[in-house]
């Protein structure tokens, strides 16, 4: 490891960057592609392990330099995707490789009765990452413009209000020092069918299956439309979206890992200078060598 500003050696860029002017549809992106990476599954698995050390080093520097610091920097990784798109695998294999003391994962489920009585961002804001931390959202405030659109729980005017509110919220996070990385894990309809079938085949996977998953699956085209509109409305300069092809789990993992590494390189955290006189403290420690 040469230093935190030495970039890793990816075949950049990974995933598909969504430009602010993009109009969709999201189905234009190939779910089996491996943009930015020319290797196969075996090389992908090797790369995941190889880059872990870089990610760990950058995370520790971020924590050392920014934790508890006024105006300190942080990272927020937002992970969205259809059922079975591999969000859990990202949490285990990418986020899970980082020191857990520097990571704060929030899984947003269906809102509680109390949460429903507030604006949709009310339950989100408390989980914005503190300085020095990597915050991770497993689903997020985007559910309020995805499932809500698909089921007609919000009309067009309300959806437009929410897109604006999201952009303002994320701009505020960025202004406060947070690198916002938004990822859509993009799988195909066929791949979802196979992954749901596997959950039904294996008794140790039954707990992950819910009959409601099939009810949502039938609404696939409406979900793709909702994703297209949401990504188009909320991919901003400050907080752009990345569509990550996810039919190949190994690729999605190295792509999200690289997006995290890139965000940390943009912060470029450096080991802080000692705020004490090192020689003086060495002498003090020396004086305690033998227990009095």
Q: Which of 156, 175, 204, 237 binds a second copy (CB under 8 A)?
A: 204
Query: Position of tokens 């330099």?
Result: 65
Single out the residue of 199, 143, 140 nearest to residue 170, CA to CA: 140
Q: Which of 48, 62, 65, 145 binds a second copy (CB under 8 A)?
A: 65
Q: What are the backbone angles phi and psi of residue 43, rounded to the nearest 5°?
A: -65, -35
Region 222-251 residues binding a second copy, contact defined as CB under 8 A: none
CA angle, residues 188, 191, 196, in degrees to nearest 5: 125
Which one of the spans 9-17, 73-81, 240-248, 278-286 is the region binding a second copy (CB under 8 A)?
Answer: 278-286
Q: Which of 42, 110, 113, 291 binds a second copy (CB under 8 A)?
A: 291
Q: How many other CB atoms are found less than 10 A from the CB of residue 143?
A: 15
Do the beta carbons of residue 66 and residue 269 sit within 8 Å? yes
Q: Which of 28, 101, 125, 164 binds a second copy (CB under 8 A)?
A: 101
Distance CA 274, CA 281 (A): 11
Intra-chain end-to-end CA distance of the chain, in Å: 42
* One character per residue 66-95, x = contact with a second copy (rule: CB under 8 A): ----------------------x--xx--x
Is it true that the peptide bond before 256 is cis, omega within 30 degrees of 0? no
Distance CA 123, CA 140 (A): 10
Least Å from the CB of residue 260 to a second copy: 14
Least Å from the CB of residue 88 to a second copy: 7
User: Residues with Cβ < 8 Å from 18, sequence gap 6 or more?
Assistant: 231, 232, 235, 240, 241, 242, 243
Q: Which of 9, 53, 160, 197 binds a second copy (CB under 8 A)?
A: 197
Least Å from the CB of residue 240 to a second copy: 25
Distance CA 137, CA 146 (A): 15
Distance CA 142, CA 241 (A): 12
Q: Which of 113, 126, 156, 207 binds a second copy (CB under 8 A)?
A: 207
Region 112-151 residues binding a second copy, contact defined as CB under 8 A: 138
* One character per residue 2-41, x = contact with a second copy (rule: CB under 8 A): ----------------------------------------
Q: Does residue 200 belong to the site contacting a second copy (CB under 8 A)? A: yes
Region 258-277 residues binding a second copy, contact defined as CB under 8 A: 271-274, 276
For a second copy, the closer of residues 175 and 273 by Cβ is 273
For a second copy, the closer of residues 156 and 275 by Cβ is 275
Report residue 243 CA to chain centroid gap: 12
User: Residues with Cβ < 8 Å from 117, sequence gap 6 or more?
Assistant: none
Least Å from the CB of residue 154 to a second copy: 24
Query: What is the contact surface with a second copy in residues (CB under 8 A)?
Result: 64-65, 88, 91-92, 95-96, 99-101, 103, 105, 107, 138, 189, 193, 196-197, 200, 203-204, 206-211, 214, 217-218, 220-221, 271-274, 276, 278, 281-282, 284-285, 288-289, 291-292
């Amino acid at each position: 490891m040469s230093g935190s500003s030495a970039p890793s050696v990816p075949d950049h860029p990974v995933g598909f960057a969504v430009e602010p002017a993009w109009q969709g549809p999201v189905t234009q992106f190939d779910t089996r592609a491996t943009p930015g990476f020319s290797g196969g599954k075996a090389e992908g698995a090797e790369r995941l392990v190889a880059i872990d050390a870089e990610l760990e080093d950058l995370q520790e520097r971020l924590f050392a330099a920014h934790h508890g610091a006024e105006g300190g920097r942080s990272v927020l990784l937002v992970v969205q995707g259809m059922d079975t798109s591999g969000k859990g695998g990202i949490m285990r294999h990418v986020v899970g490789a980082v020191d857990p003391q520097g990571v704060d994962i929030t899984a947003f489920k269906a809102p509680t009765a109390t949460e429903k009585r507030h604006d949709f961002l009310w339950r989100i804001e408390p989980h914005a990452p503190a300085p020095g931390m990597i915050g991770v959202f497993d689903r997020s405030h985007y559910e309020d413009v995805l499932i809500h659109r698909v089921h007609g729980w919000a009309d067009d005017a309300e959806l437009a209000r929410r897109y604006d509110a999201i952009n303002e919220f994320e701009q505020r996070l960025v202004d406060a020092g947070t690198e916002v990385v938004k990822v859509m894990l993009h799988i195909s309809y066929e791949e979802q069918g196979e992954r749901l079938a596997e959950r039904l085949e294996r008794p140790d996977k039954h707990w992950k299956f819910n009959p409601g998953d099939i009810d949502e699956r039938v609404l696939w085209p409406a979900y793709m439309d909702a994703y297209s509109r949401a990504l188009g409305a909320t991919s901003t300069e400050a907080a752009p979206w990345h569509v990550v092809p996810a039919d190949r789990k190994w690729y999605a993992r190295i792509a999200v890992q690289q997006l995290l590494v890139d965000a940390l390189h943009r912060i470029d955290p450096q080991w802080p200078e000692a705020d004490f006189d090192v020689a003086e403290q060495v002498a003090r420690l020396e004086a305690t060598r033998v227990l009095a």
